[in-house]
Amino acid sequence: MRRHLRLLAIALTLASPARAQVDSAREARLAWFKDAKYGLFIHWGLYAIPAGQWKGKTIPGIGEWIMNRARIPVREYEQLARQFNPTRFDADAWARMARDAGMKYVVITSKHHDGFALFRSDVSRYDVVDATPFKRDVLAELAKACAKYGLRLGFYYSQAQDWHEPNGAGNTWDFGPDSLKDYDAYLRGKAEPQVRELLTRYGPVALIWFDTPRMMTPERAKRFTDIVRTLQPNTLIDGRLGAAGDYVSTGDNAIPSAVRGEYWEVPATLNHTWGYRTDDADWKSPGDVIFKLVDVVSKGGNYLLNVGPMPNGEMPRAAVDILTTAGAWLKKNGEAVYGAGPTPFGDELGEPATKAKDARGQPAFLARTDYRVTTKPGKLFFTFFRDPGGTFELPAMPNAVQRAYRLSDGAPMEVRTTAAGARQIVLPRFPADRPGFLAIDDLMGTVIVVEIDGGTVKR
């Protein structure tokens, strides 16, 4: 037994430097991601043309799944490529919109589940250059525009599902059960070579956003990981490859209820669909976008917010207006978001219900939405979404408070101590025509900075 313990100790000692190197490399890759916090997701492809309608019928569900939901045969769906001629596409306008929205990175669908690629590919002619009258490499133009505006660019790539390929996962109406397909023939013949193309033709790639890891065994996932690490070691891998990536992707539109100690990202829609649908105009308001962004950051995550461009290549006007309005708020208050850490408190997030259950039968979480807290060394950013009534009692902490001020204009706030020893911020009074809102210059939230003694909240 002692000999076994000695051997185990030796093995752990030898493994520790290697693990430290792996962890160090991962941390280095994630440095920009940790600071960015906010990105633009773009779902665009042939599915923007039917936009939720097929042969006169409305097809339920998200727009980019119309081929699957309507069980459209490959030969019929392929004909959409002949109609794809987005003459209003302007990569510069897209990137400029993302910058003005306050976003720091862009992720676009290089190939979604329908198998159609938005780039020129040598391994499949089912792409925007070879199969459409448009004949322009969308990714090449977007890469140039993102570099111009200081945005990092990443690529969504559907590695597992490919409804266009006989051996790809997902298309059972044309090609039969997935279990009978030569899945590795598809991976080696199309998916893996196309990922190599993405990593060798468009400059630095911020991340590869894999999705729906059907039949992705550890060995298959490792092949993709090896491609990424070999060709661009600094490229991040998301959490949907089929093996652990550099960070965790939550469920779609699924914001955790509490702080998470890992790197994570919420992919979210601005309305209810990812790919464009003509019948979905239920947009989030700019205030809702800001609340969700600050909420995510206060729990330690990133917010990747999607827009589905129209078939002519333009972003929906409503989406542009919403994101630009939210971006104006970030221009004044971005210090509370970019590079900010999570709340050191947590009670402000909410609490589990005592009786109500969620869809999984677990205690429902009763979220509070009055304010959120984000952090930087020596600073607490309190973003208020409701007026607390003239004064706000700071959460208990042993740190001394140095000063408090409004982030947008630097206006000082009085900090006083009550007879009971609690510390309060005295907040300005607000116009009577805007009851319930703590904002003078907008309705999306006011950030009060509280500078404290020491880098972090002491316990």
**Residue 430, domain CATH:** 2.60.40.1180
pLDDT in tens, 220-267: 999 999 999 999 999 999 999 999 999 999 999 999 999 999 999 999
Quote the CA–CA distance of 120 and 232 in Å, as a whole number. 20
Task: Of 105-109, 209-213, 318-322, 389-393, give the lowest mean pLDDT range.
Answer: 389-393
What is the per-residue pLDDT for 379? 98
What is the per-residue pLDDT for 52? 98
Q: Is residue 419 part of a domain?
A: yes
Say whether both 109 and 130 belong to one domain: yes
pLDDT in tens, 39-89: 999 999 999 999 999 999 999 999 999 999 999 999 999 999 999 999 999
Say whether both 217 and 163 belong to one domain: yes
pLDDT at 419 over 60: yes
- Over pLDDT 70: what percentage of the chain? 92
Identify the H or E element spanning 424.
strand 423-426
Quote the CA–CA distance of 304 and 269 in Å, as a whole number. 9
Rg (CA), the chain: 25
Q: Is residue 458 part of a domain?
A: no
- Over pLDDT 90: what percentage of the chain? 86
What is the per-residue pLDDT for 11? 46
pLDDT at 186 over 70: yes
For 202, the token pair is 């468009």
Q: Is residue 6 part of a domain?
A: no
Say whether both 369 and 230 belong to one domain: no
Q: Which has more confidence, 72 or 23?
A: 72
Say whether both 267 and 403 belong to one domain: no
Beta carbons of 45 and 310 less than 8 angstroms apart: no
Under the banding of pLDDT at 50, 70 and 90, the label for residue 142 is very high
Q: Is residue 116 part of a domain?
A: yes
Task: Mark out the alpha helices in 177-242 (DSSP H runs).
Answer: 183-186, 192-201, 218-231
For 150, the token pair is 């200081």
Q: Is residue 444 part of a domain?
A: yes
Q: Is residue 75 part of a domain?
A: yes
Under the banding of pLDDT at 50, 70 and 90, the label for residue 16 is low
Count Cα neighbours of 154 within 13 Å in the Cβ-side half-sphere. 23
Per the rule left: phi > 0, alpha: psi between -120 and 50, beta: everything else, 294 is alpha
Q: Is residue 15 part of a domain?
A: no
Q: How many domains does the structure of the chain reveal?
A: 2
- Residue 150 buriedness (CB in 10 A; 0-12 / 13-18 / 19+): exposed
Q: Is residue 418 part of a domain?
A: yes
What is the per-residue pLDDT for 439? 40
Say whether both 230 and 360 belong to one domain: no
For 130, the token pair is 């070879």
Domain range for 389 is 347-452
Mean pLDDT, the chain, rounded, equals 93
**DSSP 8-class letter at 355:** E
What is the per-residue pLDDT for 343? 98
What is the per-residue pLDDT for 352? 87
Say whether both 58 and 135 belong to one domain: yes
Amino acid at 235: T
Q: Which of 274, 306, 336 is a domain's end point? A: 336
Say whether both 328 and 352 belong to one domain: no
Q: Which of 290, 313, 336 is a domain's end point? A: 336
What is the per-residue pLDDT for 2? 47
Q: Kindly state the average pLDDT of the residues 308-314.
A: 98
Say whether both 276 and 353 belong to one domain: no
Match 């002692």 to its residue by tokens. Answer: 2
From residue 295, alpha-carbon distances to 224, 284, 424, 426, 444 in Å are 33, 15, 23, 24, 13
Question: Nearest to residue 335, comparing CAs of 241, 409, 280?
Answer: 409
Which 3 state secondary structure label does DSSP give 156? strand
Chain length of the chain: 459
Q: Which of 271, 306, 336 is a domain's end point? A: 336
Say whether both 184 and 130 belong to one domain: yes
Beta carbons of 70 and 283 less than 8 angstroms apart: no
CATH number of the domain within which 145 lies: 3.20.20.80
Say whether both 253 and 321 belong to one domain: yes
What is the per-residue pLDDT for 386? 86
Say whether both 331 and 376 belong to one domain: no
What is the per-residue pLDDT for 396? 95
For 445, the token pair is 């939230």
pLDDT at 18 over 80: no
Say whether both 55 and 167 belong to one domain: yes
